[in-house]
Structure 1
Amino acid sequence: MVAISDIVLMRPWWLLALAALLALTFLALRRARGLGAWENAIDPALLLAMERFGRVVPGKARRILPPVGVAAVLIVALSGPATRIANPETFRNLDGLVVAIDLSRSIVEGGSLDDAQFAVQSVLENSVGRPVALIVYAGEAYVASAFTTDAAALSPMIAVLGDDIVPNPGSRTDRALALAARMFAEADILSGDVVVVTDGDQLTPQAFNTARDLASAGIHVDAFFVEPSAANGDLPVPDEAELRRLTELGDGGFSPATAPASLAASIGARAASTLAQGETAALFFRDYGRYLLVLALPFALLLFRRAT
């Protein structure tokens, strides 16, 4: 695949055929101006006499141009000139997104719940049609929404999250990751992202193991770090370093929840980029090769002209 400005050639190797076409055209033009092998097979005096009586008509180079024109247009069309589709349709079983938001005391009472909600909303806005599921967790993890392609429908749910949603005290990110892994398996979704929105508190070895397992299965673990803004002595201490390590093991990205735009856009673009490199690439580009075939019609019509 080769990019030329906004145009992408999906099958650029076909352009090599243009070189072969030029070579064949050059040889054909040289032979078209004469009589080819007949000049060596017929006595020169007889050939000259036949030319005087109009029995021999030398070839004309312009007769070669129509088939050459058809071949040239076909080669360019087969090279697959295309443009990338801005928001391509994705696939339910190839590309999923699970957002897990921490609703423990350190988030809800720490004064940064609005930052967490903002980060989740940014991810939803960049989901570009991917199946999205929502998990809420504290001491236990619960499915707030199964996979849906209508990410906008989750926005009202995000807006009403609070301290009365999850009754279990604690911050068990490991259980949220395990639940996300189970959701991917049950939905037969082969790849995607798990986005954790948390302060990194109480990350257990099970969380790191699950992140590693998800990454090996083609599912990235990303995280938005929520830093409490209110001072409260009895709240757990956030752990940014451990949360970064979780994303490194999960082959994902890391970002503060106060500035989620860059990571959210990266998560949204990752699926299309990955699928566009495989056999499904044609579904992520608008191929104009078929329309170029119209340019071959005038040359093709000249092939049917009446010759004398």
Structure 2
Amino acid sequence: MSGLDAYALLRPWWLLAVPVIALLALRAASRAAPLGDWAKAVDPALMALMARRGAVLGGRRQANLAAAVAAGLVALALTGPAVERKDAATFRNLDATVIVADLSRSVTEGGGLKDLRQTAQGVAEAAGTRSVALVVYAGDAYLAVPPTTDRDSFGTTLFALDADTVPDRGSHPERGLALARRTLGEAGVVAADVVLITDGDGIGEAALREARAIREQGWRLQGLFVPAQVSLPAGAPKPDRAALDQVVAAGGGTAADLASPAPVLDAVGASTAQHLAAGGYTVLAFADLGRWLLLLAMVPALILFRRSA
């Protein structure tokens, strides 16, 4: 994680107000020198007479500048500049990762099982100190490892997976996703990544419904595609990357290949504060500094109330 990850703009769309304020300030400054449009509206002779009698007060550029500075600071305050709270890491129990591994025939006989295990281990390591669970599925789904921070026991179970781990034939990713969602719900997790590692077989409308349900909970579904590395037996399902992309899009996450999993690892490896903020729990993760900018905006605003002698 880079140092910039500790900073954020909670309401970045307010940045659009800054150039608008700058344009309005320039326009106001041009019209305030020295009397705005009064010089055009009043007869020149009458204006000269009034000036000699001391009845004409010139425009003040300072007031326009002070108003522009105050408005600009207010706009910047509304963007919500924030820093990550020092205690954000203490909320890691609210942030978890569930790996959903496809152990159907097309994966185990397609030569991708070894890479699947290695990449799943990489996902667990990317999660850092947060808890990780493992769900495996084929014809049915099982919780192989409940949420844990013990990477040694997790790795032991992970590398023991083989073609006979799930006795049920078939491929039902929706059952794996449903079990992942239930596991997160029972743990009271508020920010989570569900990482589906599959060749795309069996993904249909039921899996899409589960992906949307995961997204509605404020969690994200990431996907890693397992390509076939050997010729599959006759009648075996073929890998389907397009299906994986579709279900991941429904889950609001990122899809990648096993050979280049960096986008998914980066998403899982983001800080707890970033995950909480993405899940709508920004107040737990970041301290909003906008209030201090509002106090600073009061300084030029006070100039607007200064009375001339």
TM-score bracket for the superposition, by shorter chain length:
0.5 to 0.7
Query: 1:206: which partner in 2?
Result: 206
Q: State the 1:204 CA deviation.
A: 2.2
The equivalent residue for 1:100 is 100
| Residue aligning to 1:128 | 128
Deviation per CA, 1:28-79, whole angstroms, max 9, x where unpaired?
xxxxxxxxxxxxxxxxxxxxxxxxxxxxxxxxxxxxxxxxxxxxxxxxxxxx
Q: Provide the secondary structure at the position in 2 that maps to 1:279.
A: helix
**1:143-162 paired onto structure 2 within 5 Å:** 143-162=143-162
Which residue is equivalent to 1:278?
282
The match for 1:254 is 255
User: Residue type of the partner of 1:281?
Assistant: A
- TM-score, normalized by length of structure 2? 0.62
Q: Name the structure 2 match of 1:40.
A: none
Identity score, percent: 35
Q: Distance in 1 between matches of 2:8 and 2:133?
A: 36
Equivalents in 1 of 2:244, 2:8: separation in Å?
A: 41
Deviation at 1:282, TM superposition (A): 5.6
Please say if residues 96 and 192 of structure 2, whose CA atoms lie closer than 8 Å, have aligned partners that are also in contact. Answer: yes
| Structure 1 residues 243 and 4: alpha-carbon distance in aligned structure 2, compared to 1, 3 A threshold | closer
Please state if 1:111 is matched with 2:111: yes
Larger Rg: 1
Any gaps of 5 or more consecutive residues in structure 2?
10-80, 288-309
Deviation at 1:137, TM superposition (A): 0.7
* C-alpha contact 1:201 1:236 (8 A) present in aligned 2: yes
CA–CA distance in structure 1, aligned partners of residues 223 and 186 of structure 2: 23
CA distance in 1, matches of 2:271, 2:202: 29
Q: Deviation digits for residues 102-142 of structure 1, max 9, x if unmatched?
A: 11111111111111112201101111111211111110000
> Which region of structure 1 is more displaced relative to structure 2, 207-216 or 179-188?
179-188
2:135·2:142 contact (CA, 8 Å) conserved in 1? yes
Matches of 1:82 and 1:266, distance apart in 2: 20
2:191 aligned residue = 191
The alpha-carbon distance between structure 1 residues 129 and 100, as it changes in their structure 2 partners (threshold 3 A), is: same
Residues 136, 143 of structure 2: 8 Å contact kept: yes
Give the match for residue 266 of structure 1. Answer: 267
Structure 2 distance, partners of 1:124, 1:88, is: 17
Query: After superposition, where does 1:48-63 map in structure 2 within 5 Å?
Result: none
Name the CA shift for 1:7/1:200 in 2 (closer, same or farther; >3 Å).
closer
**Equivalent position amino acid for 2:192 in 1:** G
- Tell me the distance in 1 between the aligned counterparts of 2:131 and 2:110: 31
AA in 1 matched with 2:215: A
2-structure distance, mates of 1:221, 1:199: 15
Which has the higher mean CA deviation after the structures are superposed, 228-237 or 240-249? 228-237
> Match of 1:243?
244
Summarize the Cα distance change of 1:89–1:240 in structure 2 as closer, same or farther, 3 Å threshold.
Answer: same
How far did 1:89 drift? 4.5
Name the SS of the counterpart of 2:184 in structure 1. Answer: helix
Q: For 2:139, give the aligned amino acid.
A: G
TM-score relative to the length of structure 1:
0.62
- Counterpart mapping for 1:11-50 below 5 A: none
Output the amino acid matched with 1:226: V
Runs of 4+ in 1 over 3 A off after TM superposition: 3-10, 80-85, 87-90
- In 1: Cα distance, 2:107 partner to 2:192 partner: 26
Three-state SS of the structure 2 residue aligned to 1:132 is strand
CA RMSD across the alignment: 3.0
Cα displacement string for residues 175-213 of structure 1 (whole angstroms, at most 9, x for unaligned residues): 001111111121121221111110000112111011001
Instruction: Provide closer, same or farther for how the CA distance between residues 173 and 81 of structure 1 changes in structure 2, counting only shifts above 3 A.
Output: closer
CA distance in 1, matches of 2:5, 2:239: 44
Could you tell me how far 1:7 is from its partner in structure 2? 8.7
